[in-house]
Structure 1
Amino acid sequence: MTINRSTITQSLIDKYGFKTYLEIGVESGKNFFPIKAGRKIAVDPYLKFSPLKQFFKAIQYPANMHASYFRMESDRFFTEKADKVLQNTPLDICLVDGMHEYAYALRDTENCLNRLAANGVIIMHDCNPQTPEASYTWAQWNEHQCQGFWNGDVWKSIMHLRSLHRDINVFVLDADHGLGIVTRGAPENPLSFTQEQIERFTYADLAANRQEWLNLKPAEYFREYFKM
């Protein structure tokens, strides 16, 4: 099995019988549509598909028949829609793949944590940029007219979670641009940085401390951690 955000998501749903799946940052639905789960929720202010495509994807993948789509910012979803949509049902598994910047990714993850089931899992995409350009903020990326794959500084949200939360375990799989895995429980080798320190760190700092700061694990560690 190729280890990426799609295969990990489906493997966890299948193994643990997870019912409710939330994806933030759906875009064209490439990852969202094939996922098989009892309840699927898509959130993205710029959903890049029409109701007609939703219809055909529901035929192709029947799990989408009762999927919910919210064309809005994730902050608005959690503030205005989540209570009514979830009705006290916890989230079992979430993919955070929205705006690839520290503050946004952190806020999305913490909002998911507030509604996460006791054994739930959050997967964060784009946590391990390989070049300084890939780690730019969106403004920097556009200013320098960069090309290729943009990860942003999501890595800082990993450091924040590992430094300022003591009730979750967080690590990054070295796969698919860096997959952050967040589960409830005692943290492994927590960090002790302040938010102010994290904000000041640069890509050069990350490159010099990548293994420790990200709690970086080989892709296959996924199977060991979740006893697959």
Structure 2
Amino acid sequence: MKRHEFLRELHKVSANRNYLEIGVNDGRSLTLSRVPSIAIDPAFKVVTEIRCDVHLAKATSDDFFARQNPLGHLKGGRHPLRNLARNRSPFGHWQRTTLDLSFIDGMHLFEYTLRDFINVEKHSDWASVIVFDDMLPRNVDEAARDRHTGAWTGDVYKMVEVLNRFRPDLVTVLVDTQPTGQLVVFGADPGNTVLSDKYDEILAEYVVPDPQKVPETILERTSAVKPETLVEAGFWAPLVRARNRGTKRSRGWEPLRRSVEQLSVSR
């Protein structure tokens, strides 16, 4: 299954009520959305018909998320709360919009992708679905930080190890889509600051000169599931019901975690 086919299926099974995309390019992935959407790219060149209510933000993702109420276009984005003294949360002077489905396909360098995840997670929760593109380079050349190939993933594949190492509270699923794989993340926690707190430490360890030392498990896709296996899994309907009912993390997350983790066991 190709990446856009897989993304189309995710829109269906997640029954997402909104959508955020980082990295628009010509609009081929954005055209799959039918819900209120935000699409971010400093140099998009959309040539595909868009069929959703969309805010096209011509900006870097860093600049976009630095705005006040960046998700104001989506249902739930509102004016600042009046009583700021009572609101101590880091997100907190705005009534919060939660992202249902996010697709991160921006700059193909690890540090940018890490920042994109940190920013997206602040606006997500345990029932959100976050997807990374280009997680399975087919060779070391494709994974280079300094692009010298046609197809190029850069070193964003490092997100797999970093999330598993620093955020074991999340569940990550590598997906064997064509051509360069994807990573789906469940269990986002907007209050978790581990990645931002350790950002400089992580970059010092993981941003290294070419050639990159891509793990064999990435190149050979040994831990990736078939896309059909993920989209046909039985947990989607319960996830959607729990999300739409506003089920708290304490009640909804552990059953979902067990169901998603079972995918890897049954590969």
Q: Give the drift of 1:202.
A: 7.2
- The answer to whether the 8 A contact 2:21-2:40 is kept is yes
Q: Give the drift of 1:199.
A: 3.8
- Residue of structure 2 in register with 1:42 after alignment: 39
Change (3 A) 1:161 1:44: same
Letter paired with 1:47: F
Note the 1:41-190 alignment, pairs <5 A: 41-49=38-46, 57-58=49-50, 61=51, 64=52, 66-80=53-67, 82-86=70-74, 87=77, 88-137=96-145, 140-141=146-147, 146-176=148-178, 177-184=180-187
* Structure 1: distance between partners of 2:143 and 2:58: 27
Structure 2 counterpart SS, 1:171: strand
Letter paired with 1:71: K
* Structure 2: distance between partners of 1:208 and 1:45: 34
Change (3 A) 1:131 1:212: closer
Deviation string 1:8-56 (CA, Å, 9 cap, x unpaired) is: 33323323321110110001111112x133211110000113xxx68xx
* Structure 2: distance between partners of 1:178 and 1:28: 20
* Structure 2: distance between partners of 1:22 and 1:152: 22
Letter paired with 2:181: G
Change (3 A) 1:220 1:203: farther
Change (3 A) 1:167 1:201: farther
Greater helix fraction, Structure 1 or Structure 2 = 1
* Structure 1: distance between partners of 2:14 and 2:138: 32
Letter paired with 1:44: D
Letter paired with 2:172: V
Q: Give the drift of 1:129.
A: 0.7
Moved more, 109-118 or 81-90: 81-90
* Structure 1: distance between partners of 2:64 and 2:154: 23
Q: How many residues align?
A: 202
Percentage of identical aligned residues? 24
Scaled by the length of structure 2, the TM-score of the pair is 0.66
Note the 1:196-211 alignment, pairs <5 A: 196-200=204-208, 205-210=213-218
* Structure 2: distance between partners of 1:150 and 1:94: 21
Scaled by the length of structure 1, the TM-score of the pair is 0.76
Q: Give the drift of 1:197.
A: 4.4
Once superposed, what is the RMSD of the aligned Cα atoms? 2.9
Letter paired with 2:72: K
Structure 2 counterpart SS, 1:42: strand
Q: Give the drift of 1:160.
A: 0.9
- Residue of structure 2 in register with 1:32 after alignment: 30
* Structure 2: distance between partners of 1:113 and 1:212: 29
- The answer to whether the 8 A contact 2:176-2:227 is kept is yes
* Structure 1: distance between partners of 2:220 and 2:44: 36
* Structure 1: distance between partners of 2:185 and 2:218: 18
* Structure 2: distance between partners of 1:211 and 1:220: 20
Change (3 A) 1:26 1:104: same
* CA radius of gyration, larger in: 2
Change (3 A) 1:22 1:83: closer
Structure 1 counterpart SS, 2:171: strand
**What residue ranges of structure 2 are gaps of 5+ in the alignment?**
78-95, 189-200, 237-267
